[in-house]
Structure 1
Amino acid sequence: MTITQLQYVLAVAEHQNFTKAALKVFVTQPTLSMQIQKLEDELGVRIFDRSKKPIQLTETGRKIVNQARNIVNESDRIQDIVDQQKGFIGGTFRIGIIPTVMPTLLPMFLNNFIKKYPKVKLNIEELNTDTIIERLKEGHLDAAIAATPLEMENIKEQVLYYEPFVAYIPQSHRLSKLEKLKIEDLDIDDILLLEDGHCFKDGILNLCKTSKKSNDDHFQLESGSFETLVKLANEGLGMTLLPYLHTLDLNENEKKNLKMFQEPVPAREVSLIYNKSELKIHIIEALKNTISGVVKGAIAFQNVKIISPLSQNKSKKK
């Protein structure tokens, strides 16, 4: 049994196709098939059921793949140890970022990070939280930036910043005359929300569950972007809530419609998350330090109440 054979097994398990797997690991399809057959003969079991299309793992094969992933990860750790010892920060690093963070945070830190760590090649994807968790568990992402706490087994969270919720309320709205809002002022029936699948929407629903006016049964309108929500609010179709960093890009007239909450200000916790067995900790620390450094100047709020993105609201004070 070799590490290379286990890498081939993982590639086939991922792509459920020998030809695609061979392309992934840069060998010919006959070479890959021969090595997997050799491993199966040595073990005396079938890892893959080749009679099914696409190819499926056998029951024993699923257990072998889980163990193979651990073994390959641990073998990679040797190079990671050497890199850290030499102080080398480089190589490919795959990171996922949720849609409600990507457009504001990425421009803030990316250029600084590239200049400071030119040998790191960042592969960045915009993904929702569920997809991020799945890819972290499967080893297809090295880390991600998401709203937390997620309370996931084997997923570690390093807090980057706390981002307050800010209300966007047009002049015609019933709450426009208030200087600062209380959570009790919110009425879910006139809050414009993001579509399902966005954790920021889940945070708003959790926030409104503390209000007597909360009603989960129906909403007026949902959209895929904050920009659209602002436009809908400007048309008199309701109000919306925005993450603080998104408010910095509004024009001067739109900024007049912003309302802060009374302290403790409701906020979301944004963290760098990764598998506890992740190898590239030196790059994770470099990312964390870079992001924390640039965000610290943009967000100075201290007295905030963290609103969880989980379906059951588990808030904590900071």
Structure 2
Amino acid sequence: MTITQLQYVLAVAEYQNFTLAAEKSFVTQPTLSMQVQKLEDELDILIFDRSKKPISVTDVGKKIVAQAKNIVNEAARIKDIVDQEKGYIGGDFTLGIIPTIMPTLLPMFLKTFINKYPRVNLIIKEQNTEDLIQNIQDGHLDAAIAATPLEIEFIKERPLYYEPFVGYVPQDHRLRGVSELTPEDLNVSDILLLQDGHCFREGVLNLCKSPKKLGEEHFSLQSGSFETLINLSNEGLGMTLLPFLNTLELDEKHKGNLKYFKEPPPAREVSLIFHKSELKIQITEALRDVIASVVRGAIAFQDVKIISPMNHA
């Protein structure tokens, strides 16, 4: 029994297809199939039921797959221990970032990080929160940046910063004359929202105190772009809410439409999340330190009210 055989077993269990598993493992399909077969012969059991399409894991195979995950993770930890002992920060590191954070945060820290840690090969993927969680569990992501709290048993959360919500209120809107917004001012029926599946949308819905009259709009919007929301707002189709960092690059004309909340402003907690096994923790901590340092100066708000994207009001 080898670590490589266990890695192949995990790949087949995930993709339920030998050809695809081989492709993702960067080996030929005959090589992968032969190694899985050798392990089954050694154990004298069947891990996979090949008679079904897609391939399924047998009952005893499920127990082996669960244990294989532990063994593969612990084997990877040995290299981590050596790297930490040597003070080495390098190698591949796959980072996921949710779409409402990627465009503003990534340009702020990426150049600083790669200059400070040139031996790290940072692989960055934009994914929604649900996919981030699944990929952390499956070992496809080393860490991710998402709105928290998530309160998931196998995930650790390290807060990076707290990002206030800012109102974008166009001319002729009912809130145009308000000097400072409060949650009681908001009505979901005239707020332009991101499409379903975005945690920022859920945070806005949780913030609204008025009844949620979804479905009364005269149009249906499915967009993941804050720029689109701003443009529609400028056309008089409603107000919207923006994360604070998204307001920094607005031109002066558009900044004139911003309305800030009465203190403490509602905000989202943005955290670096990773598996509780803490593999590659030295890179995770280096990443956290760089991001926290560059964002600290951009967001001066200290006292905020956290709006969780997971707890529906």
TM-score (norm 1): 0.94
**RMSD between aligned alpha carbons?**
1.3
In the TM superposition, 1:1-318 aligns within 5 A as 1-208=1-208, 211=209, 213-218=210-215, 220=217, 221-222=220-221, 223-313=223-313
Shift of 1:22: 2.7
C-alpha spacing 1:173/1:278, structure 2 compared with 1 (3 Å): same
Shift of 1:304: 0.6
Shift of 1:264: 1.2
Q: State the aligned residue count.
A: 310
Whichever residue aligns with residue 70 of structure 1, its letter is N
Provide the C-alpha distance between the structure 2 equivalents of 1:87 and 1:216, rounded to a whole number of angstroms: 55
SS at match of 2:13: helix
Provide the C-alpha distance between the structure 2 equivalents of 1:20 and 1:191, rounded to a whole number of angstroms: 44
SS at match of 1:181: coil
Shift of 1:142: 0.5
Deviations for 1:188-247, whole angstroms, at most 9, x for unmatched residues?
Answer: 110000000000000001001xx2x22243363533210000000000001000000000
Provide the C-alpha distance between the structure 1 equivalents of 2:122 and 2:287, rounded to a whole number of angstroms: 10
TM-score (norm 2): 0.96
C-alpha spacing 1:156/1:100, structure 2 compared with 1 (3 Å): same
Residue pair 1:149, 1:269 contacting (<8 A) in 2 also:
yes
Residue ranges of structure 1 left out of the alignment (5+ in a row) = 314-318
- The percent of aligned pairs where both chains have the same amino acid is 68
Residue pair 2:194, 2:224 contacting (<8 A) in 1 also:
yes
Deviations for 1:139-171, whole angstroms, at most 9, x for unmatched residues?
Answer: 111100000001111110000000000000012
Residue pair 1:192, 1:219 contacting (<8 A) in 2 also:
no
Shift of 1:24: 3.3
Shift of 1:127: 0.4
Whichever residue aligns with residue 113 of structure 1, its letter is F
Provide the C-alpha distance between the structure 1 equivalents of 2:78 and 2:255, rounded to a whole number of angstroms: 52
SS at match of 1:201: helix
Provide the C-alpha distance between the structure 1 equivalents of 2:29 and 2:304, rounded to a whole number of angstroms: 56
Provide the C-alpha distance between the structure 2 equivalents of 1:39 and 1:156, rounded to a whole number of angstroms: 34
Provide the C-alpha distance between the structure 1 equivalents of 2:302 and 2:212, rounded to a whole number of angstroms: 30
Residue pair 2:202, 2:312 contacting (<8 A) in 1 also:
no
Residue pair 1:162, 1:268 contacting (<8 A) in 2 also:
yes
Residue ranges of structure 2 left out of the alignment (5+ in a row) = none
Residue pair 2:89, 2:119 contacting (<8 A) in 1 also:
yes
Residue pair 2:94, 2:140 contacting (<8 A) in 1 also:
yes
Deviations for 1:97-146, whole angstroms, at most 9, x for unmatched residues?
Answer: 00000000000000000100111111111100011111111111110000
Shift of 1:66: 1.5
Whichever residue aligns with residue 212 of structure 2, its letter is N
SS at match of 2:32: helix
Shift of 1:29: 2.7
Residue pair 1:205, 1:216 contacting (<8 A) in 2 also:
no
Provide the C-alpha distance between the structure 2 equivalents of 1:215 and 1:19, rounded to a whole number of angstroms: 48
